Amino acid sequence: MNRMLNRSLLTACLLLFISASLTLLAEPKAKRKTATESSGLVSSDSYMGLTGEELWSNNCVRCHNIRPPTMYGNAQWDVIVHHMRLRANITGQEQRAIVAFLKSSK
């Protein structure tokens, strides 16, 4: 009985999980004013049509909250993004665009 209850709960959760995924994927991502747009800064570095800021936002937030560009110095960002490139498997172009954005956003 207990096993049946567990399986029912699991099935319900899986259905909820899948439906939430489909809903999220179907909904276009909201166009919000970004930090650099607000401050008048525009990153000129881009990769695959995405700016350094978009690459920074898209890649970092996949795992954790975004830390502001002012939190670290230029040399520290070099090391951090190098480390994250290895962890998140981003390309060299993405790494350079993200670093350029972070350094230009201070």
Partner 1 sequence: MKKIRNVCLAMLIQSALLTMLAPVIRAEDATTDGYVTRKEYDELKAQMLVMKKELDALKKEREAGPKQDYTERQSVVERHEVAPPRGEAVADTHKQVATEVEPPLVQPEGLLGTTKFLLAGWAEGMFEARNGNVSTFSASFNPIFLWELTPKILFDGRLEIEPSGGGTNVNLVNAQISYLLNDYVALGVGEFFSPSNVFVERFEPQWINKLPDRPIGIYHGVLPNISVGAQVRGGFPIGPTRVDYALYVSNGPTLNTFDAGTAGTLDFNSYTDNNDDKAIGGRVGFLPIPGVEVGYGFETSKPGFQGTTFADVRALVQSVDLEITRDSDLLKGRINLFAQYAWSKVDHAVYDPDGSLGFGPLPLTAKRDGGYAEIAYRPTELDSDFLRNLEMIFRWDHLSADPSGLGDPEETRWTIGLDYWLSPSTVIKAAYEWDKPNGERNRNALFFQTAMGF
| Residues near partner 1 (CB under 8 A) | 2-3, 6, 9-10, 13-14, 17, 20-21, 23-25, 27, 29-30, 32, 48-50, 54, 58, 61-68, 73-76, 78-80, 82-83, 85-93, 100
CB-CB contact of 15 with 71 (8 Å): no
Question: Of 20 and 42, which has the nearer Cβ to partner 1?
Answer: 20
- Minimum CB separation of residue 87 from partner 1 in Å reads 7
Helix (H) or strand (E) holding 16: helix 2-26
- Minimum CB separation of residue 70 from partner 1 in Å reads 12
- Minimum CB separation of residue 78 from partner 1 in Å reads 6
* All residues at 6 or more sequence positions from 81 whose CB lies less than 8 Å from its CB, including other chains: 95, 98, 99, 102
DSSP 70: G
Q: What residues are paired with 46 via a beta bridge? A: 51
